[in-house]
Homo-oligomer: A and B are copies of this chain.
Amino acid sequence: MNTKICYTPIGFVENDFNEWTPVETLRATSMRIVLDPKWAPGTLGLAPGDWILVLFHFHHIAEVKLQLHPQDDPNVPLRGVFATRTQYRPNPIGATVARLERVENEHILHVRELDALNGTPVLDIKPFVASFDRPKEE
């Protein structure tokens, strides 16, 4: 259980938000995912309008909240970390489905609907595929 699994970021988020910002503001902003140019061939086939699943590292987080009140509201019953989307996780990985606006020079992805701060390390980008990413019965 103690084996560590290590990843090297494929790129980083660039935008104007360096400190905590409401999710709604982040999502409404066009921002960039700048990939290491060595991965440029890996973007072949990504097209404007595609929805992509972005996996990223919450780089400002160094604390785990094993249980918490959602929305920081003490009137909402406690929930376990795995039953919330809090950033304070044992492995602080974010996962958000974002919209690709365009790809610049094969390695700069312009996206919207991504709730990530400036400098966020990006671990992976996948195309949204219903069979993986959507509850079956919907």
Which residues of chain A have a CB within 8 Å of any CB of chain B? 1-12, 36, 39, 41-46, 50-53, 55, 57, 66-67, 77-85, 89-91, 93, 95-97, 99, 113, 115, 121, 123-129, 132-136
Contact = CB atoms under 8 A, between A and B. Distances in A.
Given A78-B44, A127-B85, A132 B39 contact: no
A47 to B, nearest CB: 8
Contact of A83 (B43, B78, B115): B43
Contacts of A57: 5
27 contacts: A1-B36, A4-B6, A4-B8, A5-B121, A10-B90, A39-B82, A41-B66, A41-B80, A42-B67, A44-B78, A44-B79, A45-B80, A53-B95, A82-B124, A82-B125, A85-B132, A91-B124, A93-B123, A95-B132, A96-B132, A96-B133, A97-B132, A97-B133, A97-B134, A99-B135, A99-B136, A133-B133
Copies of this chain, whole number = 2
A8 B115 CA distance: 24
A93 to B, nearest CB: 5
B5 A83 contact: no
Contact of A6 (B6, B11, B77, B132): B6
Which of A42, A96, A113 has the most CB atoms of chain B within a 10 A radius of its CB?
A42
A127 B84 contact: yes
